[in-house]
Amino acid sequence: MPPPSKPHSTSYKSTQVKVDARIAPGKIMSLLSPDEVQDLLKVGHTELYPLFRRCTLAVLNSGAMEDDAKAVLEAHHNYDIEVIQQSRGIKLALYNAPETAFVDGEIIHGIREHLFSVLRDILYNHKAIKNPHKHLDSNTATTDAVFRVLRHADILKTGQNSPLIICWGGHSISRAEYEYTKKVGYELGLRDLNIGTGCGPGAMKGPMKGATIGRAKQHLPQGRFIGLTEPGIIAAEPPNPIVNELVILPDIEKRLEAFVRVGHGIIVFPGGVGTAEEILYLLGILLHSKNTSLPFPLIFTAPESSRAYFEHIDQFIKKTLGHKAAHCYEIIIGDAPKVARTIKKGITEVFTYRRKHKDAYYFNWLLNIPHVFQQPFEPTHEQITQLEISQDLDTPILAAHLRCIFSAVVSGNVKDSGIRRIEEQGPYKIQGDIKIMQLLDELLKSFVQQGRMKLGQKSYQPCYELVRI
């Protein structure tokens, strides 16, 4: 949904009706041992509490027309949540929760499921994945962790080969772009293609709404609408309640790996720097020598009016990663049916390949993800300065480093920690080959021109400086 630029005045807070409620689990977390109940009761009194509160507030607020995480948190400063014991299980006690999550006093089913998904995953990530006794220093161990989180969240389904399309793109896009994502989603729904996104509004919500209508016209049952998120992003990009399977991955890198392991194809809509980060991540992997024969449908698409976005991206990719990289994707402008037809055809090849190579339909085990793409990247000034950006690098490594640059810009633009770093230490110093620096400069400037850099601010103040070597 296009972001309203209205200021978050006090009147907003005061008119907001808030409710207290007790929510019993549906199918998630309904069967607990006394030990597990004790663990859950403690959540409110551990270091997990702030995360839990923040994520559940995001979920509860997902119906609202608000995508500024900070504003949401402020507007609901007196929101609280508690896990309470209820005979042999638990309930969630909500205090001052946004009324939009409720219908006539009953919580919306999709939101209820998301609340318990949050609880389930935060605890599982903490106990089973982030446990210091578990070493994730190897490639295999990381993939195993991603697999286990997804399986624990019941995302992986055997015996089905129903296709899952991942949709990427900005959460804050123009109305024309939003309408276009709905159209593409509609065409995907007409073709019984399921949809996974990173949650949030904009390009993540449009395809699901469209697909819902497309499926209805085909008299299909509700499809799979999968949301893959992570703690740092869920507040700004809460899951739309249409999402009927939600999982919170432990961090950005595992979320990215989850996208490319469970998706059978990916459609990218216009977005901002974050979308560029995702594109670089995927291209870096697909360019790896072990992945070259692996079919992986990838489409960049936009309405005619946003043709420029992908033209700039395309130029940047060709000039930095080379024309080989450009063979990994297809750009389709203003033709939603063609997008759906093309991705469907691509997916047929994916299934054929998996069958031939005896790989699972539900998880892309054969995709080789170099460890550099799995390691969490913390965008400190030091890390940024040390990143080598050079034509001499192996293309996948260059892609990985460029992806880190975009990740840093996202952080400096919108994340709390990043903004604080910039305030304290000044803009990131990004340095590298003069040619690449120039290309980067052009690309980022085009984002600024298209108004894709930062929300609700009149003129964009860059959080980076490009230093040419």
> Footprint of a copy of itself on residues 151-210 (CB under 8 A)?
151, 156, 158-159, 187, 190-191, 208-209
Using the rule CB under 8 A, is 251 a contact of a copy of itself?
no
Among 110, 198, 207, 346, binds a copy of itself (CB under 8 A): 110
For residue 53 the two structure tokens come to 């509160």
185: phi then psi, degrees, rounded to nearest 5: -60, -40
Using the rule CB under 8 A, is 448 a contact of a copy of itself?
no
Q: Which stretch binds a copy of itself (CB under 8 A): 28-36, 165-173, 416-424, 455-463?
A: 28-36
Minimum CB separation of residue 416 from a copy of itself in Å reads 29
Minimum CB separation of residue 88 from a copy of itself in Å reads 4
> Footprint of a copy of itself on residues 66-95 (CB under 8 A)?
86-89
For residue 224 the two structure tokens come to 């799979």
Nearest residue (CB) to a copy of itself, 265 versus 396: 265
Nearest residue (CB) to a copy of itself, 348 versus 461: 348
Number of residues that bind a copy of itself (CB under 8 A): 53
Among 41, 64, 73, 242, binds a copy of itself (CB under 8 A): 242
Q: How far is CA 463 from the centre of its chain?
A: 22
Nearest residue (CB) to a copy of itself, 147 versus 281: 147
Using the rule CB under 8 A, is 148 a contact of a copy of itself?
yes
Q: How far is CA 289 from the centre of its chain?
A: 26
For the chain, the residue count is 469
Using the rule CB under 8 A, is 213 a contact of a copy of itself?
yes
How far apart CA 56 and CA 23 sit, in angstroms, is: 12
DSSP at 239: P
Using the rule CB under 8 A, is 41 a contact of a copy of itself?
no
Tell me if residue 19 falls in helix, strand or coil.
Answer: strand
DSSP at 126: I
How far apart CA 404 and CA 406 sit, in angstroms, is: 5
Q: Which stretch binds a copy of itself (CB under 8 A): 118-126, 238-246, 268-276, 321-329?
A: 238-246
Among 65, 84, 103, 469, binds a copy of itself (CB under 8 A): 103
Nearest residue (CB) to a copy of itself, 216 versus 469: 216
- The per-residue b/e assignment along 139-150, b for 16 or more CB within 10 angstroms, e otherwise, is eeebbebbbebb
Among 41, 71, 93, 108, binds a copy of itself (CB under 8 A): 108
> Footprint of a copy of itself on residues 362-401 (CB under 8 A)?
362-363, 365
Q: Specify the amino acid at residue 184.
A: V
The H or E element that residue 176 is part of is: helix 175-190
Burial of 185 (0-12, 13-18, 19+ CB in 10 A): buried
The answer to whether the CB of 139 falls within 8 A of the CB of 73 is: no
The answer to whether the CB of 163 falls within 8 A of the CB of 195 is: no
Using the rule CB under 8 A, is 341 a contact of a copy of itself?
yes
Among 39, 68, 80, 144, binds a copy of itself (CB under 8 A): 144
Bridge partners for 168 per DSSP: 268
Helix residue ranges per DSSP H, 357-461: 381-386, 395-414, 416-425, 434-449
Q: Specify the amino acid at residue 239.
A: P
Using the rule CB under 8 A, is 34 a contact of a copy of itself?
yes
Scan for tokens 């670089």, then name that residue: 280
Nearest residue (CB) to a copy of itself, 84 versus 103: 103
- In whole angstroms, how far apart are CA 131 and each of 45, 127, 136, 250? 18, 5, 10, 11
Four-residue CA torsion sign, 392, 395, 401, 405:
positive
Nearest residue (CB) to a copy of itself, 114 versus 171: 114
Using the rule CB under 8 A, is 65 a contact of a copy of itself?
no
Using the rule CB under 8 A, is 33 a contact of a copy of itself?
yes
Nearest residue (CB) to a copy of itself, 7 versus 105: 105
Range 423-427 contact pairs with CB under 8 angstroms and sequence separation of 24 or more? 425/381, 427/462, 427/463, 427/464, 427/465
Nearest residue (CB) to a copy of itself, 116 versus 309: 116
Q: Which stretch binds a copy of itself (CB under 8 A): 25-33, 121-129, 326-334, 368-376?
A: 25-33
Minimum CB separation of residue 95 from a copy of itself in Å reads 23
CA atoms within 13 A on the CB side of 9: 5
Using the rule CB under 8 A, is 241 a contact of a copy of itself?
yes
Bridge partners for 266 per DSSP: 166, 298
Q: Which stretch binds a copy of itself (CB under 8 A): 7-15, 29-37, 432-440, 459-467?
A: 29-37
Q: Specify the amino acid at residue 188.
A: L
**Which residues form the interface with a copy of itself (CB under 8 A)?**
27, 30-31, 33-35, 86-89, 103-104, 108-110, 113, 140, 144, 147-148, 151, 156, 158-159, 187, 190-191, 208-209, 212-213, 215-222, 225, 240-242, 244, 337, 341, 344, 358-360, 362-363, 365
